[in-house]
Amino acid sequence: MAMLADIPVDFEQSLIEFSTSLYQGLNKVDSVCLSPYSITAAFLLLMIGASGRSKQQISSALFQNSLYSEEQKLKFYKSLHSQLTQKAGVNVSFASANRLFVSDQLTVLQNVQDNAKRYFGADISLKNFIESKESADEMNRWVSEQTDGKIKDLIKEKWLDQNTVMFIINAIYFKATWEKQFSPKKTQNGTFYLPNNKTIEVEMMRNTLFIPYFRGVDFSAVALPFKGGNFDMVFILPNEKHGLPNIEAKITPKFLSDISAGFNKMYTVILIPKFKLQSEFDLTNELPKLGVKDIFDEAKANFSNLIVERREGVCVDVAVHKAVFNVNEAGIEGAAATAIGFSFRSFPIWFRANKPFLFYVRDIKSGLIMFIGRFHPQVK
């Protein structure tokens, strides 16, 4: 087995920059959740087969003006993915699904197949998209298997026809137990305050914890650790019920790094909603905001490194991302474990997440963002 490459800090920082830029570009009204990590993996896979401006645009969006070669970037990604997988261990389940599906009318270059296997552990699948139902069903089965059945029906049959040449699919599944679980007996209905003097009832979980806490000018933040000590979930709570957009406008790697550096462990009574989110994004709308445009344009897309045939008009016509996120008393996605109880004798700080807030799940050491989203329910 080949040795894994050491991961430079600026490589990790570029992926965090991509994560925050992608999130800022979303049209956000209510609750959303996405995994920048999964999207990164899928577009790195696509970058292998792209050429010219198509390759340059993908690389610039993911890595800004990085001077690392493509081979170095792929090696760093492989090392990063291996480290995250190893960190998951017993208490965290981590699975990402990313794959390139190409029309069986095209011949994929052997080099692309080799690199996809070497760096992503992925095969490139050839599909007869004319058989739309069969192709959609097979792709959906694959995604479901990779995500423990949490991501279903990602691909729509109506998207497939004789003109379909390529699909990017990315989905992610993450399950973890809190270091100290919330007792279901303490979960009670509570009022959640929304802008414009609106309110909604939510199930509010409660716990008393000694956790990282940060107080900003117009917000407060806490980091709830998962068992194993490698991942946590950060909640950023605006002071005002209408303050979330102002916080989101500040989201940059430096902003998140400053919060992390400013964390101090405090005795905290925390109340957060119990919630489940499912979001789906059309990346043909989102990626152009970051400069990735040519791959979606049949006149400009350049995939000369992907297929043998020199066929005009080969482009990406569907790029979708779907994420499921479930927060409950046990953790994310309901994993069960034994809680370790301890007590405090000092006066606690209160963190009441009873108004719209931002959250993200990160690898604590690198700051890499696995999921990022907002909880902003709507009054129906």
* One-letter amino acid for residue 224 of the chain: L
67 within a domain of the structure (yes/no): yes
Asked if 16 and 150 sit in the same domain, the reply is yes
Which range marks the domain in which residue 125 is found? 9-176+277-325
Asked if 229 and 172 sit in the same domain, the reply is no
Angle (CA) 172-100-361 rounded to 5° is 20
Asked if 236 and 182 sit in the same domain, the reply is yes
Asked if 320 and 350 sit in the same domain, the reply is no
Asked if 140 and 233 sit in the same domain, the reply is no
The region, left, alpha or beta by phi > 0 then psi within -120 to 50, assigned to residue 89 is left
Residue in the structure block whose two tokens are 């017993």: 90
C-alpha to C-alpha distances, 342 to 58, 179, 183, 184, 196, nearest whole angstrom: 49, 12, 14, 17, 40
Question: Which pLDDT score, from 0 to 100, does residue 5 have?
Answer: 61
Rg (CA), the chain: 22
Asked if 27 and 72 sit in the same domain, the reply is yes
Name every residue whose Cβ is closer than 8 Å to that of residue 265 and which is 6 or more positions away in sequence.
210, 211, 212, 213
Burial pattern 349-363, b for ≥16 Cβ within 10 A else e, equals: eebebbbbbbbbbbb
Q: Which two tokens stand for residue 151?
A: 């991501």
Are 310 and 303 spatial neighbours (Cβ–Cβ below 8 Å)?
A: no
pLDDT in tens, 186-240: 999 999 999 988 999 999 999 999 999 999 999 999 999 999 889 999 999 999 9
Which of these three, 325, 344, 364, is where a domain ends?
325
Which pTM value belongs to this model? 0.89
137 within a domain of the structure (yes/no): yes
Residues belonging to the chain: 380
Ranges of residues in the chain with a pLDDT under 70 are 1-5, 65, 89-90, 97-98, 165-166, 170, 309-312, 332-348, 380
1 within a domain of the structure (yes/no): no
Asked if 341 and 260 sit in the same domain, the reply is yes
Asked if 161 and 266 sit in the same domain, the reply is no
Asked if 158 and 258 sit in the same domain, the reply is no
Asked if 238 and 357 sit in the same domain, the reply is yes
Question: Which pLDDT score, from 0 to 100, does residue 326 have?
Answer: 85
Are 91 and 333 spatial neighbours (Cβ–Cβ below 8 Å)?
A: no
Question: Which pLDDT score, from 0 to 100, does residue 324 have?
Answer: 79
Question: Which pLDDT score, from 0 to 100, does residue 344 have?
Answer: 28
Q: Which two tokens stand for residue 4?
A: 């894994």
Question: Which pLDDT score, from 0 to 100, does residue 109 have?
Answer: 84
Asked if 188 and 60 sit in the same domain, the reply is no
Q: Which two tokens stand for residue 172?
A: 């992610």
If one counts the domains in the chain, the total is 2
103 within a domain of the structure (yes/no): yes
Asked if 164 and 289 sit in the same domain, the reply is yes
Q: Residue 79: give its domain's CATH number.
A: 3.30.497.10
Q: Residue 351: give its domain's CATH number.
A: 2.30.39.10
Query: Closest by alpha carbon to 48, among 79, 22, 77?
Result: 77
286 within a domain of the structure (yes/no): yes
pLDDT in tens, 84-128: 888 876 678 887 766 777 778 777 788 888 888 899 887 778 788
Q: Which two tokens stand for residue 176?
A: 């973890």
223 within a domain of the structure (yes/no): yes
Are 166 and 103 spatial neighbours (Cβ–Cβ below 8 Å)?
A: yes
380 within a domain of the structure (yes/no): no
